[in-house]
Amino acid sequence: MNAKQLSPGIWHLAANISKDNLFEGLWPIPHGVSLNSYIVEGADIALIDLVREWEDAPKQLETQLKELGLEFNRIKYLILNHLEPDHTGWLANFKKRNPHIEIVTTKKGADLVREFYFIEDNIRVVKTGDKIDLGDGKTLEFYEVPNVHWPETMVTYEPASGTLFSCDAFGSYGSLTEKSCDCELSEKEHEFYEFESLRYYANIVASFSTFVERAIKALSDLEIKTICPSHGIVWTDRPQDIVERYARYASYYKGPCEPEITLIWGSMYDNTAYATDAVRDVLLESGITFHEYRVPEQDISHILAHAWKSQGLILGMPTYEYHMFPPMAHVIDMMGRKHVKGRKVFWYGSFGWSGGAEKELNSLIEQHKLGWDITGKADFRGRPTEEDIEKIKQGVRDFIKTVMESAKK
């Protein structure tokens, strides 16, 4: 990518990371991800957010700085909105290139600069309302937004252009092309980034939804014309779209959610798979929006995205050695860790010589305080009989009515 001017004195720099990596060492990124940094130039120059030494991200950043005719030693301020290593991992080597740089962050951020990178000098601590005047009409204002999604997080606002540098807030997965702003994208490209923002939110931010809502409220009085996140596209045309999207995602934390169902199932010997055919038939006949995933074939990252927005969950979970089929147990445990709470649930599954899946399901629900409402169940020994199939079908029909009645209107 090339450096892109967003407005006079403000440039977007981006390093693309390939699909062959895992984000946070955990989440697949089949379409890559961008690490975004920004230059704000007045009489003095500030670099907002950094990169880690991940693939050739530092080289990509350096190349784009050279396009702007900028050497490292001309940058006076390094603004660190968030200290997670994907935005700071290159910090120690960057400081060797510019030893006089002034690092600007919150109090908790300053602690992490010292503890992560052993840097003690030229650290400026800021809090909500503090400002740095860069000269030539450019000012940076700082607002703390703790726990979006680390405790030290802040955002930076440039009032003359109405630009909000939001770091992980309002971000998404997906590498960038030269069409890196919302106004340049086709409808299909917007659909791609919409799902990648949902998946990013469910994987990374969902547990902190209450803090997301607080941050949106705290920033609501700012005149925001452009939103510059640290991952994903820049919002220069309709920044309210991504704010409204994040507000909607955050609202799913307490519910109600969308009138949709996420069907998650696994099967060892095709007995639960056979029952899943019946479940799918009923869902298709009903016309309700549903999303289907089989585990362990499909990754939890994508499952979380749809489970986060769905009012209903249908779980196909066979018993395995007196417990739940392990890939299903992993999915439910992860939904607990990410606070997928208050859902309507229907479950079914095959067992052999004895059950056990239900006991583990109830244990996980209690352990994670999920508050799930199990409105129906159907387990069966071995392959389901015709009677079992009819019971499952009726259970799913009743479940769909429950989901529709309880979902977001």
CATH code of the domain in which 394 resides = 3.40.50.360
Report yes or no on 27 lying in a domain. Answer: yes
Closest of 48, 54, 50, 49 to residue 24, by C-alpha: 54
Point out which residues pair with 143 in neighbouring strands: 155
Residues 101 and 242 in one domain: yes
Domain boundary among 232, 251, 270: 251
Report yes or no on 292 lying in a domain. Answer: yes
H or E element that contains 18: none
- How many CB atoms are closer than 10 A to CB 178? 9
CA–CA dist 335, 329 (Å, integer): 10
Report yes or no on 37 lying in a domain. Answer: yes
Report yes or no on 307 lying in a domain. Answer: yes
Write down the pLDDT at residue 187.
96
Domain boundary among 196, 216, 251: 251
Token digits of residue 115: 């503890």
C-beta contacts of 188-194 below 8 A and 24+ residues apart: 192/31, 193/232, 193/233, 194/245
Write down the pLDDT at residue 1.
81
Number of domains in the chain: 2
Write down the pLDDT at residue 41.
97
Residues 179 and 57 in one domain: yes
Token digits of residue 67: 């396009």
Write down the pLDDT at residue 360.
96
Residues 295 and 226 in one domain: no
CA–CA dist 334, 225 (Å, integer): 36
Instruction: Give the Å distances, CA to CA, from 111 to 145, 226, 343.
Output: 17, 30, 39
CA–CA dist 409, 407 (Å, integer): 6
The residue ranges of DSSP E strands in 200-257, in sequence order, are 226-229
Please, are residues 318 and 272 in contact by the beta-carbon 8 Å criterion? yes
Write down the pLDDT at residue 102.
98
Residues 187 and 302 in one domain: no
Report yes or no on 409 lying in a domain. Answer: no
> Which residues fall within 8 angstroms of residue 253, CB to CB, at 6 or more apart?
206, 209, 210, 339, 341
Pairing of the two strands 22-23 and 45-48:
unpaired
Point out which residues pair with 103 in neighbouring strands: 78, 123
Report yes or no on 352 lying in a domain. Answer: yes
Structural domain that includes position 393: 261-404
Closest of 54, 44, 42, 119 to residue 80, by C-alpha: 119
Residues 239 and 305 in one domain: no
Residues 48 and 187 in one domain: yes
CA–CA dist 51, 84 (Å, integer): 10
Report yes or no on 87 lying in a domain. Answer: yes
Residues 230 and 362 in one domain: no
Residues 207 and 271 in one domain: no
Residues 158 and 44 in one domain: yes
Write down the pLDDT at residue 66.
94
Q: What is the CATH number of the domain that holds 41?
A: 3.60.15.10
Residues 155 and 218 in one domain: yes
Point out which residues pair with 38 in neighbouring strands: 12, 48
User: pLDDT 10s digit of each residue in the chain, 409 long?
Assistant: 899 999 999 999 999 999 999 999 999 999 999 999 999 999 999 999 999 999 999 999 999 999 999 988 899 999 999 999 999 999 999 999 999 999 999 999 999 999 999 999 999 999 999 999 999 999 999 999 999 999 999 999 999 999 999 999 999 999 999 999 999 999 999 999 999 999 999 999 999 999 999 999 999 999 999 999 999 999 999 999 999 999 999 999 988 999 999 999 999 999 999 999 999 999 999 999 999 999 999 999 999 999 999 999 999 999 999 899 999 999 999 999 999 999 999 999 999 888 889 999 999 999 999 999 999 999 999 999 999 999 999 999 999 999 999 998 7
Residues 21 and 166 in one domain: yes
Token digits of residue 333: 């445990």
Token digits of residue 234: 């820049």
CA–CA dist 240, 74 (Å, integer): 34
Residues 203 and 332 in one domain: no
Domain boundary among 197, 226, 251: 251
- Total count of residues recorded for the chain: 409
Report yes or no on 256 lying in a domain. Answer: no
Closest of 59, 53, 48 to residue 21, by C-alpha: 53
Q: Residue type at 197? A: S
Q: Using the 8-state DSSP alphabet, how is residue 6 labeled? A: E
CA–CA dist 350, 243 (Å, integer): 44
